[in-house]
Amino acid sequence: MAEAHPVGFRWVMKAKERGARVIHIDPRYSRTSQLADTYVAIRAGTDVAFLGGIIRHVLETESYFRDYVIQYTNASTIINEQFRDTEELDGLFSGFNPDTGLYDRSSWMYEGGEVASAAGVREHSTESFNERTGAGMMMGNVERDETLQHPRCVFQILRRHFSRYTPEMVERICGVSREDFMAVADALITNSGRERTGMFCYANGWTQHVEAVQMIRTAAILQLLLGNVGRPGGGIMALRGHASIQGSTDVPTLYDLLPGYLSMPRAREGHLTLEDYIDTGGADRGWWSFFDTYIISPLKAWFGDAATKQSDYGFAHIPKLTGNHSHYATMLRALDGGVDGFFVMGQNPAVGSAHSGLQRRALAKMKWLVVRDMAEIETATFWRNSPEVQSGELRPEEIQTEVFLMPAASHIEKEGTFTNTQRLVQFRDKALDPPGDARSELWFMHHLAKRVKAHYAGSDRDRDWPIVNLKWGYPEHGEMREPDVEAVLKEINGYEVASGRPLSSFTELRSDGTTACGCWIYSGIYEAGVNQARRRRPGDIAAEGGTVSPEWAWAWPANRRILYNRASADPQGKPWSERKRYVWWDEEQGRWTGYDVPDFPADKRPDYRPEPDARAMDAIGGADPFMMMADGRAWLYTPSGLLDGPLPTFYEPVESPVKNLLYPKVGTDPATIRWKRPENPLHATGDPRYPVVATTFRLTEHHTAGGMSRSVPWLVELQPEMFAEIDPQLAADRGIENGGWMTIVTERAEIEARAKVTDRLRPLRVEGCVVHQLGLPWHWGYSGLSRGDTTNDLGVLTADPNVSIQETKSFTCDVRAGRRHRASTARLAGAALRGHDVEPSEDDPLAENPKEASE
Amino acid sequence: MTPSGSRPRSFESLRRVPVIGRVMDWGMGPSAASERTRRAEARIAGMKVTESVCPFCAVGCGQLVYTRAGELVDIEGNPRSPINQGTLCPKGASSRQLVQQPGRLTKVKYRRPGGSDWEELELERAMDMIAERMIAAREDGWQDTDRHGWRVDRTLGLAHLGGATLDNEENYLIKKLFTAMGAIQIENQARI
Amino acid sequence: MTDEHRWEGRLEHSGEPAELTPEDEPPTTSQGRETDWVADHDTKSRDIRPALGKPGEPAAWTAAKPGAAVPLARPSFGDAQWSFLYKARDTAYAAAEPSPGQVVSANRRMRRAQVTDVHGPFIHAPVWSWEVPLYFWFGGMASGSAFVALACDVAGDCRSAAIARRVALGALSPAPVLLIGDLGRPDRFLNMMRVFKPRSPMNMGAWCLVAFSGSSAAAVGADLLGRPRAAQALGALTSLFGSYLGSYTGVLLACTAFPVWARSRTILGPAFVATATASGAAATRLALVASGLPDGHPTRSALGGLETASMLSELVLSAVGERQLGDAAEALRRGRPGTLFRTAKSLVVLGLSLRVVARRRMGPREHDLASIMYLAAGLAFRFAWVSAGKASATDAAAVAAMGRGRRALHDVRERPRPQRAPSMDRSQLPLPGAARRAYGEAIRRASLAIERRLRHR
Amino acid sequence: MSTGSAHTEIAIHRSGAQRMGFFTDTTVCIGCKACEVACKQWNDLPADGSVPGKGASYDYTGDLSASTWRHVRFVELLEPSPQLREEAQRALESGGGNKFPAIPASGAIDLVDAAQAGDGAADVAEAVSKMGDWVFMSDVCKHCTNAGCLDACPTGALIRTEHQTVVLQPDVCNGCGYCVPACPFGVVDRDPQDGRAGKCTLCYDRLEDGLEPACAKSCPTDSIQFGPHEELVEIASRRVARLHERGIEGAYLYGAGDEPDEQLAGGLGAFFLLTEPPELYGLPAQADSPVQENVVPATLAAVGAGLLASAGAVIAFVAAGRLSRRRPVRESW
C-alpha cells in the first residue's frame, strides 16, 4: 500500500500513530512491510488457505461476534439436503460436471427457498445462463436456526468446511510459521467486536488470481464473522490501481455489464424480451425489486422518443451474449483472425495484458487498430519494435494492420469525473486546451458517433435501428467543438423526460418511460441541476465524524460513504459502541441518522418485521442491514452468484510447484478458464523445469504498463531499469550476481532483468520442499525513455471463472544467470503460427466448450 | 528567535575581537542579496488555478493546476482535499511533466498496412477513416442469430479496450455508442 | 533485420539461440556493468520545458503578478500541515514529555555508537578541473617571483629585480584566464568582486589577485618608465600581496570538508608557499639565465639555493603532513594523486641530484635542467594535492573517521560506490587516456634511466 | 556559545520573520520519493539521470546534486551480509544432488536455517535479526547555523535569508565551485551543464508567499515537517521521547537538541530523527563549517609561511651577495 498507494498510506500511518496495529502479508518485503508492525511472508496464491485458517481459528475458539453473526448474516440459514461440501467430495462441491467443467448450482440453494445473488445473473457462459436461477429471485421462505446448531445451517457447514485449515496446514501450504499465523489471527480477533474494528486492504495481489473472487470472499466471510462490515474502521478495502477504474465498472466498458451493474442480456431460445430480462435479472424482495426501473431508464436515455412501451424500449436491439467475450477471449479470437478492428484508449495491452507476446501477435492479425494515448506506447508500435519483429517472426512489411495513433488529452485538458477507489466521484475542471490535435475521448466518441449516425441516417434495416434512434444531442462548445460534459453527466444522473428536470435520486426512477437515466447508481450526482461531484467543501475533518466529509464531491449510491452502514448499529438501532458510532436510529425523529447518509430506508423502524409474503423492500426487516440481498442478510455462504463454489476452497494456483495438500485429488480450481491452445502452454503442477514461483508487483515510481510513467523523465530517473528481486539462496544456486543480468524463463517467453539479490524475498519451506519466489515489476516495454523486457510476456492466459481475470500474481518459471540469447518471445514463434492455422470458428469458441476439464 | 550555535573556537575568538572581529562578517549582509532575491515570490502568485484530480492511482488525490496564458506552470496537491490534504506521491507530483512530457503526441500518426514508418494525418481525415473502418467492421462481423438460431443482434467485428483513466462520461459514451453499434467486445483495464 | 533472424517456418522453439555478438555479451566486471548500464540508458533525458522562462534559466522566484496572493492557498503558512500527525492532537505521535537531558543523551549515545558499516557517499568531490591546479602553479610562480624581486632589490641586484617583476607579471597573466575558464559561468567572473568577504578564502584570493596584478603591473610599468624607486616600492608591495597569493590557495583547500585537505590545514599553506617560492625562483632563474645573467653571479647562486631549500621544505612538510593524516593519507598514496606525488617527489630528487652532480662535475646546463625539474615538480605537486582531495572525498571511511574526530576508523568497512554517471563529463586532464598512460610510462622510464646512470657513475 | 551572531549574516531582513526549518522523521518515511519529484517540479530541475542501483536498493538517485535537492536514501540494513551469503552457499553445496537442498530444522525461512546450520552462527543470527530493517531517509540541505557553503561563497551568491535559511541566488552564482567542497554534508554541487551550483532553497520563493516548501507539502506521511524551527525542535524532542517509550531506543535527533559544544554545524535548520548511527545514512557524526574551523589556523600558517618565505628569499640573497663578495664561485645549488 505504501508502495502503490502512498497517499492512501498516509491514513494508515495516522491510524498507526493512534494505536492501530498494521499487519502486512505479502510474498515480498516491500516498503509497506517496513512500516508495518508485523510482516508475514506468504507463498503467492495461497491466501485462501491462510484466511481459511483464521476462519477456522475464529470458529474453533468461538471468537466471532455472535450477535452480529446471528442477526446480520445468513449463518443461521439452513441449506437444502442435496448440498454436498468439499469435505464430503474431496475438494468438489455437489453438482460438478467434469465434462463441461461447470457446476450445476441447484443443489447449493437454501432450504425452502431459491435466491439469486445481489448482482443478478453474472455468469459468463450460455449453459449457466439457461439455468433457472433468477426468476422469482427468492422462492418461498428460508428456514433458520438461530441457535446455529442445525447440522445443515450455514454456520455448521462453514465449521465443517474449514475444519481442515489448521495452523499446521497453513504452515505447510503457505510457508507461514505457526507463530506468525497465530499472531495475525489473534491481532484480528482482539481488534474486532463491539468496541474495535479491523480492516482488510487488498489490491491486485488478490485480484489477479484464478481464485480471485474466492480470495476476497474468504476475507468477507472472516470480516462478517468478526462483525467488521458496514462499520467505521471495518470492511474490505479494494485498493484499485487507476484513477477511475471504479468508474469504469460502474459505468462499465465491460462486455457483460450494462450501466449500474445490470447484466448484459444473454441469447436464449426464442426471442428475448424485456419482460424475460426483468424476470431473470430482477428480484421481488430487497432493493433489486426496482430492477425494472433501472433497465428501462437507460433504454429511455439511449433511444429517446423511440423507446416506448410498444418498441419494448428498444431492448431487443441490445446485443446479446452467448459466452465469454472478455478481453482475453477477444484477443484469442483476434489471433484467429476473428476481429477486424480494435480500439485501444489509454491502455497498453502489448505490455499490460497477460501473455503479452500473444496480445501483440493478435494485434498483427487485425485489419486496423486505433490507439489513443499521450505518447507512442508499445501497443501502437508493435509493428516496428516488438520482440516478435526483433526476432524476425513478424516483419513490418507483412503486418497488414493499419494503425491510427491518436493524440489524447491529459487529465487537465478536459473536464469530467473520476470515481476513486472509495466510490467517490470527483469532478475535474479543465485548465487548458489540449495541444495540437490532441482531443479527449469524449470528443472522439462524440464525433465518431456523429459520423456513424450520419452514415446510417435513414436506414430502415432492423439492425440499424439502435443507431438511427440513438439519442445523441450533446451540445458542443469552443473551437474544438468539444461536447458538453455536464450534459453527459446529466444524462447519467437521469432526468424527467417531460420536463428535463434532473432527478434527485434513483428512487425517482420509473418503469413507465417517464424517466431517463444513464446509470441508476449515479442518480443524484446532478441533483437539482448542480454538479454534486464538483462540491469542494471538506468540512472540519477534526470534528467527530468529520472525516466523512459528506460535502466533498459525491459518492454513489446517494452520497453514502460506507455501504450497509446500518450494520454499524445493533439490531435495535443503537451503535454497537459509542466509540464506533456511525449511523443510528433516532427514536425522536423516527428516522435513521448519523455522520453518513444511512444506507437503509430512512424511516424504516429497527423493530419492523416483514409479513411472510411481503414483497420488494417491504420484505426487508428493520434489522436486516444488507438490503441489496433478497434476504437482507450478508452471505457467509453464497447459494447463487458464483460459478466455482458457494464457499471458498483452497486450490493451488494454476501453475504451482507443489501439490494441493488439502485436496490432493482436485489440485487446482476445477472451474478455472484455461484456454488450451498451442500458443498458450501451461506448466504442469510441480514441473521440475519450472520450480520457482514468480509474482508480479508495482513500484511507487511507475504506473502500470508505463504509458504514463516511462515517458516522464522525473519518474524514469527514479526507477530506470527492469529488475527482478531474487533471494540470495536461489541466486547463489544459479550463479546470479547482485546487479548482474538474469534471465527468467517460462514456456511462453524468456526475459532478462537486472538481479536484485535481497532478503526482501525469502525462500519458504512448504511441505517437503523449499519454494523460492521471484518478484517482478511489470512496468517495462520496448518504447519510452526507459526500456526493458516485459514481465507479462512470461504469463499464461487462464482466468477466474467468475470475472475472467488472469493469474499474474503467481506463476512458475525458472531463472538463470546472464542475458537472454534471443528475442523474449521467440520460443513461441512456431506455436503462434500454428495457432493461426486454426479455422476461425463462426461463434465464440468458448461456447462450444467453455472450459477445458482440469487435469 | 536568536539562533544559538557553537562555533569553532579560533574563529569565534577572532570574531570577538573588537572592530576586527566584525570584519569577519563583511560581505554577508544585505549587500549580498540581489535585487531579484529581494523581490522573490512564488511564481504562482496571482495565477489562474484550476482544481483537478490526479490521473494515476485510484486514491483520487486533489490537485491544484496553476496556468498562465494557456501554459501549464505548476501542479501540486490540493490542501483542501480531505483525501490527500495537499500531499502527492511521486507520480502525482510528476503530473506536470506527464502533460509536458518530451514525447507528447500532438498529431495523428498513421501506419499503412505493411508500412515501415509513421505518416501524419489530418485529424478530421483520420476520424473519417476510422468511422469508415468501424462501419465496415460492424457489417463484416454482424450476426443476427447464433448457431442455435437464437437472436444475438450483434457484431464481433470490432473490439474495444479502455484504460481506467478515462472519465465516467467518456466511458458512458463508449458503452452507449458501441452497444448501439451492436459491439459486445467492450472491455477495460478493470478486467486486467 | 538480418536474414539469420528471420522466421523460416520451423515449428516450436524456432531456431537455435543466435550467437551473441561481442557487444551483446554482458560485461563481466561490475565496472563494466556500470558502463554498460550508462550506455543502455538515456542519461541525457533532460529535455524538459521549464514552467516559465527558457531552459537553463529557471523562472523561479518571479511572481506572475507581483504582490498578489497565491490563489486557493491560505496565507502565512496556513496550509502547512507540519504535523498533521501531531497538530491534530488525536494521535500519540509525540505524546510524551521528554525528561531533561533525554534527547541530549540519546543524540550523544547514537552519534558515538559503534558502527560496523558506513554507507556513503558523504560529500561531493570537487568539481574543479585541470585549470585550478595550473592556476595554483602560475599564481605560486608569480608570488615566488615577487619574493625574488624583493630579495634582489634588497640585495641590490636591481636588474634581476626588474626581470623578476616581469616574470611575476608574466606568470600571473594566465591566472585570470585559468580561473575564469574553470568557472561554471565564466561571463560572471566579475561577481567575485561583488562583495568583500574576509571569511571566504576564495573571495580574499580574488581580491588579492587583483591587488597583486595591479601592483605588479604598476611595478613593471614603473620599471619601463624608468622609475626604479617607485618600482621597488611597488615590488615590495607586490611581494606582500604575494605572501598571501602564494599561500591562500593552501587555505582555500584547507577550508573544505575533505579529510586530506582539512586535516592538513597547517601544512597546506606553508607547503604551497614552499612550492610557490621554488617555482618562482626557478622561473626567475631561468629567465635571468636567458637574459644573460652570467654564470657565477650571486643572484643565480642564491636562486639555486632558494629553489633547493624551498623544495626540501616542501618535502619535509609533505612528510610531516602525511604522518598527521593517518589513514586519510591513503588518498595521497593511491591512484592518480599517488602517481602525481611520486612523480613530483622523483622530480625533486632528480633536480636535487642534478644539482649535486652539477656542483661537482657538470656545467650550468644541468642547473638549468634542475630548475626545470623543480618547476615540473611544483606543477606535479599542485595536481597531486588537488586530485588527492577528490580521492579523499570519495573515501567514505575517511570522511566518517574525520566526523568522529579520529585519524582512522578501523572498524569501518567501506563500500565501494559507483561514480555518478553524468559527472563523467569533465576529464581531469585534457589528455586522452592513452596519452595519460604514455606520460606515466615515460616518467617511470626516464626516472629509471636516470637512476641507473647515476648508479653506474 | 554565541548569540545573535547569525543576525549579522542575514542578508534580507523582514520584520516578524523567524527561523524556519525541516524536521524529517525517518520513522514515518515510506521511501516513496514524492519529495524528490515535488522538488524538481517546483524548482524546475531537470531529470539528471540515475546512478546504477546500489545492488538491491531502490535508490537510483545516489546523492544530492545541483539538480536533485531532495534525495531519499535507502539504507539496506537487510542486504545480505557476506557471511549470510557464504553460509547459504555452503548449505547449498552440502545439500546433495537435489535441485534445492534439503535443509534441516523447522520454520518457514530456510535462509535462517541455512545460515544457522553453518559456522559463524552468531554473525548470521545478527544479520538475520536485522532483516526487516530497511530504513528510508529523505536527505536535504541542512541549512546549518554555521554553513560552510555560505562562508566559502566568494560572490555572495549564497546568503542567509530572513528565515535563517541558506539560499543560493542563481542570478549571482558564477559557478566557482568552492561551495562544493566546503559543505561537510555533501549537499551543494555544481551542475555540469548549467554551470552553476544548486541546492535546496527551502523554497525561498514559496516562503515569501506563505506557502510551505514543495517537498514538505507533498510528503504523504508527513515524514518531512516544515515549520518554525523552535516548534519543530519541540515536536521532535517529544517524538524522541515517545519512540523511547515505545521501545525504539535508537531514536535520536541529528542536528537538534544537542549541548552547544556538541552541535552539528551550530545546529541544523533541517534536522532529522534517525534510529541508526549517522554514518549509515551517509551523515558524519560531527561536522562544522570547514571554513570556520580552519580558516584562522590555516591563514595564520599560510601567511606566516608566505612572509617567512619572502624573508627567507631576502636572507638567501643577502647571504649569497656577501658570499660572492668574499669569493667568486661557480653556480651551486
- Smallest Cβ distance to A729: which of D34, D40, D110? D110
Picking from C159, C156, C378, the residue whose alpha carbon sits closest to that of residue C279 is C378
pLDDT at residue D30 in the model: 95
Give CA–CA dist A280/A117, Å, rounded: 11
- Smallest Cβ distance to C66: which of B41, B71, B72? B41
Residues of D in contact with C405 (CB under 8 A): 286
pLDDT at residue A751 in the model: 94
Find the helix or strand (DSSP H, E) in which A227 lies: none
- Smallest Cβ distance to A738: which of D48, D49, D55? D55
pLDDT at residue A531 in the model: 96
Task: Report CB contact under 8 Å: B30, D293.
Answer: no
**Partner D contacted by A189 (CB < 8 A):** no
Q: Is residue D149 part of a domain?
A: yes
What percentage of chain D has pLDDT greater than the value 90?
58
Q: Do A727 and A836 fall into the same domain? A: yes
Per-residue pLDDT reduced to its tens digit, D35-51 = 999 999 998 888 877 77
**What number of CA atoms fall less than 13 Å from residue C297's CA on the CB side?**
17
Residue numbers in chain A where pLDDT is lower than 50: 119-137, 833-855
Most confident of B21-35, B118-132, D120-134: B118-132
Give residue C153's domain range.
131-402+429-456
Q: Is the dihedral of CA D237, D242, D243, D244 positive or negative?
A: positive
Task: Report CB contact under 8 Å: C200, B27.
Answer: yes
Grid coordinates in use for A210?
A: 484464478
Residues of C in contact with B46 (CB under 8 A): 63-71
Q: Residue C17: which pLDDT band, with cuts at 50, 70 and 90?
A: very low
Q: Which of B151-165, C186-200, D44-58, D73-87 has the lowest mean pLDDT?
A: D73-87
Question: Average pLDDT for residues C50-78, to the nearest whole number?
Answer: 74
**What number of CA atoms fall less than 13 Å from residue C294's CA on the CB side?**
6
Residue of A nearest to C94 (CA): A17
pLDDT at C353 over 90: no
Number of compact structural domains in chain C: 1
Domain boundaries, chain B: 48-99, 141-191
Q: Which of A845-849, C112-116, D4-8 has the lowest mean pLDDT?
A: A845-849
Q: Do D34 and D152 fall into the same domain? A: yes
**Regarding predicted confidence, which is higher, D83 or C141?**
C141
Residues of B in contact with C206 (CB under 8 A): none
Task: Report CB contact under 8 Å: C7, A831.
Answer: no
Q: Do D163 and D264 fall into the same domain? A: yes
What residues contact B147, with CB distance under 8 A and at least 6 apart? A842, A843, A847
Say which CATH number the domain at C198 has: 1.20.1630.10
Å from C60 to nearest chain A CA?
A: 18
Q: Which of C51-60, C70-79, D150-159 has the lowest mean pLDDT?
A: C51-60
pLDDT at residue C56 in the model: 41
Mutant choice from A39, A172, A698, A770 vs D, greatest count of D C-beta within 10 A: A770
Residues of D in contact with A10 (CB under 8 A): 220-222
**Partner C contacted by D288 (CB < 8 A):** no
Task: Report CB contact under 8 Å: B80, C72.
Answer: yes
C260-297 burial, b for 16+ CB within 10 Å, e for fewer?
A: bbbbbbbbbbbbbbbbbbbbbbbbbbbbbbeeebeeeb
Q: Do A620 and A755 fall into the same domain? A: no
Q: Do A822 and A681 fall into the same domain? A: yes
Give CA–CA dist A327/A332, Å, rounded: 9
Amino acid residing at B42: A
Mutant choice from C45, C89, C415 vs A, greatest count of A C-beta within 10 A: C45
Q: Do A706 and A616 fall into the same domain? A: no
Give residue A819's domain range.
673-848
Give CA–CA dist A556/A246, Å, rounded: 11
pLDDT at residue C103 in the model: 96
- Say how many CB pairs under 8 Å bridge C and D: 487
pLDDT at residue C270 in the model: 94
Per-residue pLDDT reduced to its tens digit, D71-124 = 999 987 754 444 445 554 454 444 332 222 222 222 233 333 443 343 333 343
Residues of B in contact with C70 (CB under 8 A): 42, 44-47
B6-34 burial, b for 16+ CB within 10 Å, e for fewer?
A: bbbebbbebbeeeeeeeebbbbbbeebbb
Per-residue pLDDT reduced to its tens digit, D244-255 = 999 999 999 999
Per-residue pLDDT reduced to its tens digit, A396-420 = 999 999 999 999 999 999 999 999 9
Query: B 141-180 residues with CB below 8 A of C?
Result: none
Q: Do A734 and A842 fall into the same domain? A: yes
Give CA–CA dist C285/C280, Å, rounded: 8
Query: D 268-287 residues with CB below 8 A of A?
Result: none
Query: D 308-327 residues with CB below 8 A of C?
Result: 308-310, 312-314, 316-321, 323-325
Neighbouring subunits of C (3+ Cβ pairs under 8 A) = A, B, D
**Partner D contacted by C178 (CB < 8 A):** no
Question: Average pLDDT for residues D175-195, to the nearest whole number?
Answer: 92
Residues of A in contact with C21 (CB under 8 A): none
What percentage of chain C has pLDDT greater than the value 90?
49
Q: Is A671 helix (H, G, I), strand (E, B) or coil?
A: coil
Q: Do A805 and A833 fall into the same domain? A: yes
Pick the CATH number of B48-99 from 3.20.20.70, 3.40.50.10380, 3.30.200.210, 3.30.450.40: 3.30.200.210
* Rg (alpha carbons) of chain B, rounded to whole number: 30
Number of compact structural domains in chain D: 3
Number of compact structural domains in chain A: 4
Q: Do A804 and A677 fall into the same domain? A: yes
Q: Is residue A96 part of a domain?
A: no
**Partner C contacted by D190 (CB < 8 A):** yes
CB C123 within 8 A of CB C399: yes
- Smallest Cβ distance to B45: which of C47, C68, C196? C68
Q: Do A682 and A749 fall into the same domain? A: yes
DSSP labels, A590-645: TEEEESS--SS-TT--TT----TT--BGGGS-TT---TTSTTSSB-SS-SSS-SS-
Asked if the bond preceding C270 is cis, omega within 30° of 0, the reply is: no
Query: C 217-246 residues with CB below 8 A of D?
Result: 239-240, 242-244, 246
Give CA–CA dist A732/A751, Å, rounded: 20
**Partner D contacted by B19 (CB < 8 A):** no
Task: Report CB contact under 8 Å: C33, A740.
Answer: yes
Give residue D296's domain range.
289-333
Residues of D in contact with A698 (CB under 8 A): none
pLDDT at residue C58 in the model: 45
Q: What is the largest CA-CA distance in chain D?
A: 97
Q: Which of A156-170, A483-497, C52-66, D296-310 has the lowest mean pLDDT?
A: C52-66
Q: Is A580 helix (H, G, I), strand (E, B) or coil?
A: coil
Per-residue pLDDT reduced to its tens digit, A63-75 = 999 999 999 999 9
- Smallest Cβ distance to A39: which of D33, D110, D132? D132
Å from A756 to nearest chain C CA?
A: 14
Q: Is A814 helix (H, G, I), strand (E, B) or coil?
A: strand
Residue of D nearest to B26 (CA): D9
**Partner D contacted by B42 (CB < 8 A):** yes
Q: Residue C451: which pLDDT band, with cuts at 50, 70 and 90?
A: low
Q: Do A500 and A615 fall into the same domain? A: no
What residues contact A1, with CB distance under 8 A and at least 6 apart? A8, A9, A12, A32, A201, A203, A239
Q: Residue D193: which pLDDT band, with cuts at 50, 70 and 90?
A: confident
Neighbouring subunits of A (3+ Cβ pairs under 8 A) = B, C, D
Q: Are strands A102-103 and A96-97 parallel, antiparallel or unpaired?
A: antiparallel
Q: Do D252 and D315 fall into the same domain? A: no
CB A568 within 8 A of CB A580: yes
pLDDT at residue C444 in the model: 61
Q: Is residue C30 part of a domain?
A: no
Å from B54 to nearest chain C CA?
A: 17
Q: A166: burial class by Cβ within 10 Å (0-12, 13-18, 19+)?
A: middle
Residues of C in contact with A720 (CB under 8 A): 41
- Smallest Cβ distance to B173: which of A243, A246, A488? A488
Q: Are strands A591-594 and A750-757 parallel, antiparallel or unpaired?
A: unpaired
Q: Is residue C121 part of a domain?
A: no
Name A569's bridge partners.
A575
Task: Report CB contact under 8 Å: B43, D205.
Answer: yes
Grid coordinates in use for A615?
A: 414483497
Q: At what angle do helices B168-181 and A291-303 cross, to 10 degrees?
A: 80
Mutant choice from B71, B89, B100 vs D, greatest count of D C-beta within 10 A: B89
Q: Do D148 and D114 fall into the same domain? A: no
Beta strand spans in A637-749 (E): 673-674, 692-697, 723-726, 741-745
Say which CATH number the domain at D227 has: 3.30.70.20
Say which CATH number the domain at A844 has: 2.40.40.20
Query: D 212-251 residues with CB below 8 A of C?
Result: 212, 216-217, 222, 225-227, 231-232, 235-242, 244-245, 250-251
Give CA–CA dist A217/A643, Å, rounded: 13
Three-state secondary structure string covering D171-190: CCCCCCCCHHHHCCCCCCEE
**Partner C contacted by B6 (CB < 8 A):** no
Task: Report CB contact under 8 Å: A717, D47.
Answer: yes
Mutant choice from B43, B88, B91, B95 vs D, greatest count of D C-beta within 10 A: B88
**Regarding predicted confidence, which is higher, D325 or B29?**
B29
Picking from A379, A297, A302, the residue whose alpha carbon sits closest to that of residue A706 is A379
Q: Is residue A331 part of a domain?
A: yes
